[in-house]
Amino acid sequence: MYFVRRLIFAIPLLLVISSLAFALVHLAPGGPFDRERAPASPEIERNLRAAYHLDEPVWKQYLRFFGLVWDRDADGRWHHAPASFNISYKYRSHRVSDIVGQALPVSMTLGVLAFGFAMCVGLPLGFITAARRGRWPDYAGSFLAILAVCVPGFVVGPLLILIFSIKLHWLPVALWESPAHMILPAIALGLFFSGKIARLFREGLLATVQSEFIAAARAKGLGENRLLLKHAVRIAILPVVSFSGPMLADLLTGSFVIENIFQIPGIGVFFINSALNSDYTVAVDLALLYAILLIVLNLMVDFSYTLLDPRVKYE
């Protein structure tokens, strides 16, 4: 019931987000049709703006975005205007749904792979640094984890390419054509998050180990490693899980930096370019997509809390 209520509440939330995003992109200077060559006549420019309804007040464009506007044509008849959320000002031959349909699966694949990498590296690293706290594996591991968080992504990418593609010739340099092409981008993208996960998991473990139920388990006589594994991990992983929600949302909606460096046809590049080029509809569409993903993922995260930590209950 709680989750159904959250889902229902999400709808007005999405409306608010869409109107905020819509207002924001319309505030930015420069329109989508500023061109390098001047239009041959003012009439042409007027026609262009009128064809895309850019001469209307912003609130009306907003309604048109959702398909809630009826137009009167030359004969005086009313007909329903198609919803403009599917029209891009920059890619005039494509529908936004086509573009997203092609680009989103790519970003999602990359995101899932990066997530997998981050988990597979971050969780063991966090575990080791917590289990061997205060000794050299902790120092080394923590240093590596924090290092991963400190190097900007647009430096990591080219470094990986230089080493693994150009010098060693193990992997291709860029593009997205085969499983081999996916390895470097996934690593470059996941490295930052693996460091964060390692730190969060370590914190979670260290905090959990102090709590009472662990003391109880220790009193029962369990060995240290099994103790940690069986009991602490379930609770300690909660911070990681709650971080996973926004992390996955970020990963799945594409990373501009990685997609730019590796020339991957994902959705991150569309996102940034639409904001920079005043491609209003695409920017709002993608903002909504991000919000929807975030809401769904947060719901899943909250649900997994109930599975992991029996103390958590929702009314």
Partner 1 sequence: MSESGNSGRAGSPLAAAKAENGAHGVTRPTYISPGRNAWQRFRRNRLAVLSAWYLAFLLLAIFAWPMVLKLSDATFAQAHNPDQLSDAQFSTPSAQHWFGTDLHGRDLFSRVLFGAQISLLVGVVGAGISLVIGVLWGAIAGYVGGRTDSILMRIVDVLYSLPTIIFVIVLITTLGEMLKQSHFVGSSPALAGVLRVTLLFVGLGAVSWLTMARIVRGQVLSLRSRAFVDASRALGAGPVRILARHIIPNIFGIVITYLALTMPAIILYESFLSYLGLGVQPPMASWGTLIAEGVGQINPIRIYWWLIAFPGGVLVTTLLALNFLGDGLRDAWDVKSK
Partner 2 sequence: MWRNSFCCLLVFAACLLDSGCVRREPPADVTLINNAEPETLDPAILSGIPEFRIVMGNLFEGLTRLDPKTARPIPGLAQGWDISPDSCTYTFYLRTNLVWSTGEPLTADDIVWSWLRAASPATASDYAGEFFYLKNGEDFVTGKIKNPALVGVHAVDKFTVRVELTHPTPFFLDLCALPVMSVVPRQTIEKYGDRWLMAQPLPVSGPFELAYWRPNDKVRLKKNPLYWDAANTPSQLIDILPLGSPDTALNLYENGQVDIVLDRTLVPGELLDLLRKRPDFHPFNYLGTYFIRLNVTHKPFDDPRVRRALALAIDKELIVAKITRAGERPAATLVPPWTANYASPPGLGYDPALARTLLAEAGYPGGKGFPRFEYMFDAAAGGGSKIHQDIAIELQQMWRDNLGIQMDLRQVEWKVLLGSYSHLDYETARSSWIGDYNDANTFLDCFTSNNGNNRTGWKNTRYDALISEANGQTDLKKREQLFQQAETLLVHDEMPIIPIFYYAGLNYFDTNRIQGFFQNILDDHPLEYLRKANPKSKAQSSN
Tokens of 165: 């593609």
Query: Which residue shows structure tokens 């009826």?
Result: 70
Which ranges constitute the DSSP H helices of 58-209? 58-65, 96-131, 136-150, 153-160, 179-209
Out of partner 2, partner 1, none, which partner does residue 109 contact, by CB within 5 to 8 A per kind?
partner 2
Query: What is the Rg, in whole angstroms, of the alpha carbon atoms belonging to the chain?
Result: 25
Estimate to the nearest angstrom the gap between the alpha carbon of 3 and the chain centroid: 22
* Interface positions, 129-148, toward partner 2 (CB under 8 A): none
**Residue 254 CB, nearest approach to partner 1 (Å):** 11
Q: What is the separation, in whole angstroms, between the first and last Cα of the chain?
A: 8
Number of neighbouring beta carbons within 10 Å of residue 112: 14
Nearer Cβ to partner 1 (70/143) = 143
Q: How far is the CB of 24 from partner 1 (least distance, A)?
A: 5
Q: In Å, how far from its chain's centre is CA 294?
A: 8
Of 215, 226, 307, 310, which lies in the binding site for partner 1, with binding defined by CB under 8 A?
A: 215
**Stretch 219-238 residues interacting with partner 1 (CB under 8 A):** 219
Residues 6+ apart with CB under 8 A from 81: 64, 67, 69, 70, 71
**What's the CA gap between 164 and 158, in Å, rounded?**
10
Quick one: what does residue 1 bind among partner 1, partner 2, none, with the CB cut-off 5 to 8 Å set by partner type? none
- Shortest CB 66 distance to partner 1, Å: 18
Amino acid at 206: L
By CB under 8 A, which span of 68-76, 91-99, 141-149, 210-218 interacts with partner 2?
91-99
Contact characters 17-46, partner 2, x per CB under 8 A: ------------xxxx-xxxxxxxx-xxx-
Q: Whose CA is closest to 302, among 95, 3, 57, 1? A: 3
DSSP, collapsed to helix, strand or coil, labels residue 93 as coil
Residue 287: which of partner 1, partner 2, none does it interact with, CB under 5 to 8 A by kind?
Answer: partner 1
Number of residues written out for the chain: 315
Phi-psi region of 178 (alpha: psi -120 to 50; beta: other; left: phi over 0): beta
263: partner contacted, choices partner 1, partner 2, none (Cβ within 5-8 A by kind): partner 2
Strand (E) or helix (H) holding 244: helix 233-252
Q: Can you tell me which of 77, 167, 169, 311 binds partner 2, judged by CB under 8 A?
A: 169
102 binding partner 2? (CB under 8 A) = yes
Residues 242-261 that bind partner 1 (CB under 8 A): 246, 253, 256-257
Residues 143-182, mask of contacts with partner 1 (x by CB under 8 A):
x--xx-xxxxxxx--xx-xx---x----------------
Q: Which residues bind partner 1 (CB under 8 A)?
A: 13, 16-17, 20-21, 24-25, 27-30, 139, 142-143, 146-147, 149-155, 158-159, 161-162, 166, 206-207, 210, 215, 218-219, 246, 253, 256-257, 271-272, 275-276, 283, 286-287, 290-291, 294-295
